[in-house]
Amino acid sequence: MNTDLAQLACHRYEIADTLHRYAFGLDHGDADSLASAFTEDCIFDFRPAGIKLGIDFPKLSGREAVVNALIPFLGPLDTSHTVSNLQIEISDDSATLYAYVMSQHFMPRQGCRRGSENALLMNRYDCELVRDGQKWRFKRVTIDSAWAQGNPEILNALAIQRALAAKSKPSK
């Protein structure tokens, strides 16, 4: 095999792995895995999808902000992400990735119950990556909604429930 083709295949694998580390981090509440997918100065923009879904989610700057926002937002939910249709373009130490990511969200411990409320989202990911040694990391992630089924409000409902619970706790 031509070494250029072998190197290209390796880069494409590592770029796909970046998206898989991200999805694993979200699904398992694994902050280290999620953080490993982003550069220190990354931009994460869920606003295009959020507008369509009625979810007010800010544009985030920096790895720490992304991890600190996403883990508590999705962490309590029963969530699974499935990645497909990856289109990858590589230029030296940078790359673009376009992909579909389907995410299924249930309220905690409700996914196995018949008729439980859920949201099934198909999102388009538009990403810029940079190579950091052997690993590729997201420099920018922009997410737009292709379609949704169910009730995306469960994402907001959990956030609202947490906020109300925090307000009702007596101060010490």
- Tell me: the pLDDT tens digits for 29-86? 999 999 999 999 999 999 999 999 988 889 999 999 999 999 888 877 889 999 999 9
HEC string of 28-93 equals HCCHHHHHCCEEEEEEEECHHHHHHHCCCCCCEECHHHHHHHHHHHHCCCEEEEEEEEEEEEEECC
Q: What architecture does CATH give domain 3-167?
A: Roll (3.10)
Where in the chain are the domains? 3-167
Give tens-digit pLDDT for 139-160.
999 999 999 999 888 887 665 5
Q: Is the pTM of this model over 0.95?
A: no
pLDDT, residue 170, reads 60
* pLDDT confidence bin for 166, thresholds 50/70/90: low
Residue type, 59: K
CA distance 152 to 146: 13
pLDDT, residue 101, reads 97
Share of the chain above pLDDT 70, in %: 88
* pLDDT confidence bin for 126, thresholds 50/70/90: very high
Higher local confidence (pLDDT), 116 or 143: 143
Residues 6+ apart with CB under 8 A from 17: 136
pLDDT, residue 157, reads 63
Share of the chain above pLDDT 90, in %: 65
